[in-house]
Structure 1
Amino acid sequence: MIGPKLAAARAAGALSRRAGRGGTSLPGKVLLRLEPEAIATLSSRLPQGSVAISATNGKTTTAAIVAAILARAEGRVVHNVQGANMAGGVASALLDASHGTRIDGEIGLFEVDEFWLDRVAPQLRPRALLLGNLFRDQLDRYGELETIADRWAAVLDRLPGTRLVLNADDPLVADLGLGRDDPLYFGVEDDAVALAHLPHASDSKHCRRCGTPLAYDAVYVGHLGRWHCPRGDSSRPAPAVTAANIRLDGTRGAQLLLRTPAGDAEVRLGLPGLYNVYNALGAAALALALGISLDDIVAGLEEVRAAFGRAETVQIDGHELAILLVKNPTGANEVLRTLALEAGEIDLLAVLNDNVADGRDVSWIWDADLELLAGSVRRVVCSGTRAPELALRLKYAGIEPERIEVIDDLEAGLDAALAGAGDRLYAMPTYTAMLALRELLARRGSTAGMFT
């Protein structure tokens, strides 16, 4: 009987919240300790089954877009909305929706950490699985990208009934569809937004089949683009869902022509950057794989706003504060590329932490193209556990030392950045710094708090 175990897990979560320790993942962790197959048991009660999303970058935002689409088309969605994406977080979302033998929801939507996919997906047995990208991130935790790709390939062998939705522009991800039934590919097709060359921080540069360096006809984000192996051992699959006529409006949004087998549509995204165009494409492709209408897809795409910390803007002390999460070279480069579109000089709060959830190794900042900020930063305050190293990196990027201030403490750093800023301040925090900033803003009444 799983009922008493559900009650025990809920009680543990309630005690944790009363103690001020949050409680997003703890109930699920307790439940899985008591009942290791709880995810399989509870997800099997969802009338429309479930879908899952995994990627290095963009999982939370893509899931938020899919949630907006599903809410229109499928009714109530059971979703780990707060981004707790390991097994405990998925179990907690299912636990919250469970009432006796009934579950309060039609379909499950689960963002899954890339290193936990092989443990969570076989229990979920999702109707469709979106794999968005693989970028270098937390090498001290994950290892090389090929390690993740191999784990993903192994888990896909255990999901014979799952429709795969894959990014054609990522060589490692696209390769996972070879020899599998009817994968649905998505990708960008607009050379107007292509980079001049492959960035030095690019990750997947070699053919997974023969190891030959890949050739690119267009590069969009990091190693994402139109690619092929010069020896003919692999090439970018033709995507069925694409974006063209892309127009990027700095940190405020983007427009695109969405092309699908169900028809074409103009889309206005309230999310900035080419990286969010990819998130929107993946969400649209996943929804199409579920049979959702193009009208509902477009309405969901245009409705969604930034997930917490992902280009979210809040009001504080008479300023707009735009929060742009950075956690690895490719993600940081896309944020920098977006900031470079802003008119005039910008004021910046840059926060670098090296906590476990950030990755202890912060050498990745030397691979991020912070040189894109040279000449456009009026003033930058560096905070966090590795603030001095970040300040040094910015100096080497070409920002004059007199424009850089180091204040390790986040709250003091925020106050100093606000005091010297114009109407708009941009914050670039790493993951745990973003959570701390959110909590700080919540205490000041600027935004709702998030507890993970």
Structure 2
Amino acid sequence: MARRASRAIARGGGTTLPGRVLLALRPDALEALGRRLDGGAVLVSATNGKTTTTAMIAQILRAQGRPVVHNQAGSNLAWGVATALLDARPGDGQVGLFEVDEAWLGAVARALRPRIVVLANLFRDQLDRYGELERLADEWAALAHELVEWGTKLVLCADDPLVADVAPTPQAALYFGLEDDARALPHRDHAADATHCRRCGAPYEYTVSWLGHLGRYCCPACGHGRPEPTVAARRVELRGMRGSLVEIEHNEQRARIELPLPGVYNAYNALAACAAAIALGFGLRDAATALADVQAAFGRVEVVTLEGRELVLMLIKNPVGANEVLRTLVLEDQQLCLWIALNDGIADGRDVSWIWDAEFELLRGRVRFASCSGTRAPEMALRLKYAGVEAPLAVNREVAKSLEQALRHTDGRLYALPTYTALLELRTWLARKGAAKHWADR
């Protein structure tokens, strides 16, 4: 009743309010509803990419004819999972597939006792809410010991030292990672976070860096290093906004994915999804075939048409994620028209100083027009000025008016780079225009 009422009245409360009501009435609702999932639960957590990775796993499951209960609108706290579980029905083999906020992973996992937990990365994000990365890594490591005792299979990114190290033993995890040195960065990101060994504190030595602090690393002091990935991307070919080619190997079996999503970060998402599928008992080639038709997740390289122009929505929320979006954009041949919306809501993180760690300098000489919006629009404009972006620059805090202005300056494609709450505001406006579904109805 709460879900129906909130969707009818507020349009957008249908993903969290029902779960809040449910958990207030029945604090054990997650445990009770989770028992209806005949196929068990799969949890996915990461700082970046959990929405897309979860959408990819859902695509693989549905391609194999498995019914899925999924928090596809991206509400990833306990009440969002509880709302999704309202659709759980015993007796038909449903798999519960849930992306889970990094800080809420322990509570949700202890309630659901999942079959599989996928941990893809930990990056600096919303320090005012999460605290330092090491605290989250310690919490994940303590949880991993409990999960292994329950029989949960861990699927971990070998390239992230914070994630790879949470497994109690190497045998407790299925590791995935990149093995294409052609995709290496010329130098490690300024935004790299986990640069010191969690076991002895000495600085890691990296032979390759692929994304942030993800790479091939080893501690020269204690010898602890990157575990060998058993699900590996042997080749990644980037094709700008047109997508990418990813070749994945597992146990001498290879699969080729013509992925319609761009960037190294989406190659990682596809790799994590394939590893999860293997842990669930599916074949690598079946998983790869399903991903050839995957659609962009909500606001993650999502393309909508408005007033005869293409609007490409690319969420940015922390330095590493923003850098990967920027690297993807500069692969395009033409000059860029940009709309960047920086908010400082609680869901964004009140501290927006992260924009100074993102490499907006990559845009120098590549921008034809830029518009800055959101509650912290002036700070974003200042950052672009310091980055050396000399194109005409508009500043307007009002999302709708700012976007309309940007569209008037755009002949073809406008790239929209909003933070999280700005993305929700933008999608609501697009829904009113009839250009996209409402974000709560996806």
Query: Scaled by the length of structure 2, what TM-score is found?
Result: 0.97
Q: Which of 119, 122, 125 is the matching residue for 1:137?
A: 125
Q: Tell me if 1:57 matches 2:45.
A: no
1:82 maps to amino acid: A
Alignment of 1:238-249 (within 5 A): 238-249=228-239
Q: Tell me if 1:450 matches 2:439.
A: yes
User: The residue matched to 1:231 in structure 2 has which SS?
Assistant: coil
Q: Aligned pair in 2 of structure 1 residues 32, 103: CA closer, same or farther (>3 Å)?
A: farther
Alignment of 1:368-447 (within 5 A): 368-400=358-390, 403-447=392-436
Q: Tell me if 1:310 matches 2:310.
A: no
1:123 maps to amino acid: A
Q: Which of 99, 115, 123 is the matching residue for 1:127?
A: 115
User: What is aligned with 1:224?
Assistant: 214
What displacement does 1:17 show?
2.6
1:150 maps to amino acid: D
Contact 2:141/2:167, CA 8 A, preserved across alignment: no
User: The residue matched to 1:121 in structure 2 has which SS?
Assistant: helix
Q: Which of 160, 175, 179 is the matching residue for 1:170?
A: 160
Q: Which of 58, 69, 79 is the matching residue for 1:88?
A: 79
User: What is aligned with 2:262?
Assistant: 272
Structure 2 residues not aligned, in runs of 5+: none
Q: Which of 91, 98, 108 is the matching residue for 2:96?
A: 108
Contact 1:265/1:298, CA 8 A, preserved across alignment: yes
Structure 1 segments (4+ residues) deviating >6 Å: none
User: What is aligned with 1:321?
Assistant: 311
What displacement does 1:232 show?
3.1
What displacement does 1:305 show?
1.3
Contact 1:128/1:164, CA 8 A, preserved across alignment: yes
2:393 maps to amino acid: I
Contact 1:97/1:104, CA 8 A, preserved across alignment: no
User: The residue matched to 1:157 in structure 2 has which SS?
Assistant: helix
User: What is aligned with 1:299?
Assistant: 289
- Distance in 2 (CA, whole Å) between partners of 1:175 and 1:337 is 28
Contact 1:315/1:446, CA 8 A, preserved across alignment: yes
Which string of whole-angstrom CA distances, capped at 9 and with x for unpartnered residues, describes residues 224-247 of structure 1?
A: 000110113410000001112211
Contact 2:45/2:101, CA 8 A, preserved across alignment: yes
- Distance in 1 (CA, whole Å) between partners of 2:116 and 2:309 is 42
User: What is aligned with 1:7?
Assistant: none
What displacement does 1:35 show?
1.5
Which string of whole-angstrom CA distances, capped at 9 and with x for unpartnered residues, describes residues 145-204 of structure 1?
A: 011011111212222210000000000000112426431000001111100111111111
- Distance in 1 (CA, whole Å) between partners of 2:411 and 2:242 is 17
What displacement does 1:408 show?
1.3
- Distance in 1 (CA, whole Å) between partners of 2:91 and 2:70 is 12
Q: Aligned pair in 2 of structure 1 residues 104, 30: CA closer, same or farther (>3 Å)?
A: farther
User: The residue matched to 2:325 in structure 1 has which SS?
Assistant: helix
- Distance in 1 (CA, whole Å) between partners of 2:74 and 2:172 is 29
User: The residue matched to 1:32 in structure 2 has which SS?
Assistant: helix
1:415 maps to amino acid: E
User: What is aligned with 2:22?
Assistant: 31
Q: Aligned pair in 2 of structure 1 residues 410, 105: CA closer, same or farther (>3 Å)?
A: farther
User: What is aligned with 1:4?
Assistant: none
Contact 1:262/1:294, CA 8 A, preserved across alignment: no
Structure 1 residues not aligned, in runs of 5+: 1-10
Q: Tell me if 1:147 matches 2:173.
A: no
What displacement does 1:123 show?
1.1
Report the more deviating stretch, 384-393 or 287-296. Answer: 287-296
What displacement does 1:262 show?
6.2
- Distance in 1 (CA, whole Å) between partners of 2:234 and 2:405 is 42
2:79 maps to amino acid: G
Contact 2:160/2:214, CA 8 A, preserved across alignment: yes
- Distance in 2 (CA, whole Å) between partners of 1:127 and 1:417 is 47
Which string of whole-angstrom CA distances, capped at 9 and with x for unpartnered residues, describes residues 100-135 of structure 1?
A: xx4765211111100000100011111111000000
Contact 1:351/1:433, CA 8 A, preserved across alignment: yes
- Distance in 2 (CA, whole Å) between partners of 1:286 and 1:294 is 10
Percent identity among equivalent residues? 55
2:351 maps to amino acid: D
Q: Aligned pair in 2 of structure 1 residues 262, 289: CA closer, same or farther (>3 Å)?
A: farther
- Distance in 2 (CA, whole Å) between partners of 1:27 and 1:341 is 43
- Distance in 2 (CA, whole Å) between partners of 1:378 and 1:419 is 13
2:199 maps to amino acid: R
What displacement does 1:329 show?
0.2
User: What is aligned with 1:157?
Assistant: 145
How many residue pairs get aligned? The number is 438
